[in-house]
Amino acid sequence: MSIYNFRLSDQVRGSNPGVWGEGTAYVVGNYLKEFFDEVCASPLTPYSGSDFWWDSSASDVRANEVLIYFLDSKADSLVQQVSPSVTLGPGGTTVIRSAGNLSEVYVRESLAAMGGGADLARGLAVLAFHEAMHNKLKLGGSLHSTGGGGIAAATVFANTNLNARNIAKMAPALSLSVQQNVSFL
CATH number of the domain that residue 160 is part of: 3.40.390
Enter the pTM of the model: 0.96
Residue 36 lies in a domain: yes
CA gyration radius for the chain? 15
What is the total count of domains within the chain? 1
Stated as kind and residue range, the H or E segment containing 52 is strand 47-54
| Number of continuous H segments (helices) and E segments (strands) in the chain | 6, 5
pLDDT class of 67 with cuts at 50, 70, 90: very high
pLDDT class of 86 with cuts at 50, 70, 90: very high
What is the domain range of residue 124? 2-173
Largest separation between any pair of C-alpha atoms in the chain: 42
Residue 125 lies in a domain: yes
Residue 135 lies in a domain: yes
